[in-house]
Structure 1
Amino acid sequence: MKQRTATLLMVYNADSGIFNALTDAVRKTVSPDTYECSLCAVTYGMVSMRRDWRKFLDRLPVEKKFYHRDDFSRDYPDRPIPLPAILLDRGDRDPATLVGSEELGRITDLSELIELTQTRLMRNGLAPTH
């Protein structure tokens, strides 16, 4: 029997599209305290993913999917959750929350997010590769 692979879902509290991305970039810069997506704020610079986050994700032994809130609600209409969030989908049930919205709201440093995500993945038997 083939074992199902796990998928890490990063769900941003922002909508998809070029206009939304530009608006978010400006809001993060001009008024970061009012920006609604703490996951974006910690893992992205002005327009691209932070290198240390990308390197961490690349080492993980799981698939990765990135969702904006509109995409996530379309693909998971029966899974309303506070956003942003990092979820773990093992393919056999609803995705489980790995790092929730409240926790993400308290994280201000990328290394803290990496450490927390790594710890939670290890608890789920999914240690990053070196």
Structure 2
Amino acid sequence: MKDYVHKIVSPASYGCNLCAITYSSTGMKDEWKVFIEHLAVPIRFFHRDEFVENYGNMEPSFPCGYIETENGLELFISSEEMNKLNNIKELKTLVRTKINGILD
């Protein structure tokens, strides 16, 4: 509820750029939901505390994206890259570019 109110009252100061881009006040944006459902790789999202619970304290800067490989987690999208994004279109382009770089 707190996040919902924060997005409505002060969207520019919302703490997570990934959430600000991919969620509206009513939940995940349909455009993003459809995009991630059709990716060639499985995807999961974690809040900071959930990430630490699952992977330990790796001291990542959030928001970010990791890919799970046979060697463990590897940074996929840095927080710097994530925080430069302005909209879903830019995010989708970045994700596609990164995935294509891995699959090629």
1:24-78 deviations in Å (ceiling 9; x for gaps)? 1111111122211000000111131111111111111211212111110111114
DSSP 3-state at the match of 2:35: helix
Residue 83 of structure 2, aligned match among 105, 117, 121:
105
The total of aligned residue pairs comes to: 104
2:101 maps to which residue? 123
2:71 maps to which residue? 93
Amino acid at match of 1:88: I
The higher-RCO structure (CA 8 Å, 6+ apart) is 1
Amino acid at match of 1:64: I
Amino acid at match of 1:124: I
Q: Which has the higher helix share?
A: 2
DSSP 3-state at the match of 1:64: coil
Q: How far off is 1:84 after superposition?
A: 0.8
Q: Does 1:40 align with 2:19?
A: yes
Q: How far off is 1:94 after superposition?
A: 2.7
TM-score, normalization by structure 1: 0.74
Identity of aligned residues (%): 31
RMSD over aligned CA atoms reads: 1.4
Amino acid at match of 1:57: I
DSSP 3-state at the match of 2:45: strand
**What is the CA–CA distance in structure 1 between the aligned matches of 2:73 and 2:55, rounded to whole Å?**
9
2:4 maps to which residue? 25
